[in-house]
Chain A
Amino acid sequence: HFPRDLKWQNNNVTFRILNYTPDLTKSDVDRAIRTALNVWSDVTPLTFKKLQNGIADIMISFGSKEHGDYNPFDGPDGLLAHAYPPGQGIGGDTHFDEDEHWTKDSSAYNLFIVAAHELGHALGMSHSTDAGALMYPIYSYSTGFVLAEDDIEGIQALYGPNPDQKKVKPKPDAPDKCDPMLSFDATTELRGETIIFKDRFYWRLHPQMPEPEQTLIQFTWPSLPNKVDAAYENPEKDMVIIFSGIRMWALNGYNLVDGYPKYIHKLGLPKTVRKVDAAVHIKGTGKTLLFTDEEYWSYDEATGTMDSGYPRIIEDDFPGMDDEVDAALYQHGYLYFFHGHVQYEYSYTARKVIRIMWTNSILNC
């Protein structure tokens, strides 16, 4: 919130659109603004009435560089828009940088998403530190319900809930890396860094940067799903394979490799397998292990075929690992199995699990 929890004292707020961007039709802009206002009215008692003239609480306009409030925009990119907290005069007013290209899809800056964020300010919300919240200051395109729990908690602290609130499904907040019960969805190497997937986010661990960096998956790889089951890196091909459900994607850095997604059964997995729990490439052997429930498979990268004699029981070949596997990593000659909030360190030389740690100890917790 802003200092002194600035808010509108009356739940019936008025707004007016003073001018329009040429990037979209007038009805597209009207719809984007109305839908953005509905985001907040759906979860609060607030109502929004559109004025065609006169002074409204929230005056909405498009302008470039210095546009009348001594708070200039900066040309394309950089600053996209700004808004003022509730109050008289300029209070509540919302300005969009006309030097941006405004769209109603993901091809450039989506007006609805930016408007929903700015109107959050116009209602009394300041910026959130949660990378998955609508009120996070940096633009990212996302589909589905735009509010996260953090946003709803904030706005309802100011105005209360909507008495006849429809059932909404807010995005869960970003996972806390030091939550002792934290489990992982998937892990992989990526050009010397370690990537850990959890919910809609991933942490990026760089050898020289002990502080992991949390980012939205969609921010880096927009064509990936929001949930990853397994992942591994094939260093010889400089490719990371991502599994989600019965599909898999191949990434070359930031780029999606042509021809993907493909079905996981192309690897030779039977149709009965609907999900890969974990995957790990064992450097120097050319083999990739794929874990499903209590069993695992061995895929030969060079021949592109599944090795015969699989699946095998995980516990038979990896004594000490008697749990299903959420994620797996191969580092410095050790195989790390992650299950729930526990990780198991398996030594090939000792042929057994030799250490058990907290899953998130890899995140310096």
Chain B
Amino acid sequence: LPLPSENKDNWLQAEKYLRRFYGLPAGLQGRQGTSGAFKTKIKEMQSFFKLKVTGNLDDNTLEFMNLPRCGVPDIGEYN
């Protein structure tokens, strides 16, 4: 089913965040549901910020994605 537009915005923002700070590969994600790589990267981010590790884009995780922050990636593979 098509995602409601509000969800889609959050989704896109999360993709951009994970790509920038957690090395989510570009271009792999479908728009529907949570792909393996997407889930894995969300878990990495949740683990880093000591949030509940669910792999899901919950409110808490989104809240952290909106906080003002440094532009350097959090995870060591620094390209």
List the interface of chain A (C-beta within 8 A of B).
2-3, 71, 73, 77-83, 85, 97, 109, 114, 117-118, 121, 126-127, 129, 131, 137-139, 209-211, 213-214
The 8 Å CB contact of B67, one of A2, A109, A126, A139, is A139
Q: Is the CB of B50 within 8 A of A139?
A: no
The 8 Å CB contact of A2, one of B48, B51, B71, B78, is B78
Q: Is the CB of B72 within 8 A of A3?
A: no
CB nearest neighbor in B for A100: B68
- Residue pairs across A and B with Cβ atoms less than 8 A apart, 29 shown, are A3-B78, A71-B71, A78-B69, A79-B70, A80-B68, A80-B70, A80-B71, A81-B71, A82-B70, A82-B72, A85-B78, A109-B68, A121-B72, A126-B76, A127-B48, A127-B70, A127-B72, A129-B49, A137-B21, A137-B70, A138-B67, A139-B67, A139-B69, A139-B70, A211-B51, A211-B52, A211-B53, A213-B50, A213-B51
- State the Cβ distance, B5 to closest chain A Cβ, in Å: 21
- State the Cβ distance, B44 to closest chain A Cβ, in Å: 11
Q: Is the CB of B74 within 8 A of A137?
A: yes
CB nearest neighbor in B for A2: B78
B60 surroundings in chain A (CB, below 8 A) = 209, 213
Q: Is the CB of A77 within 8 A of B68?
A: yes
Q: Is the CB of A3 within 8 A of B76?
A: yes
A9 to B6, CA, bound (A): 49
Q: Is the CB of A2 within 8 A of B74?
A: no
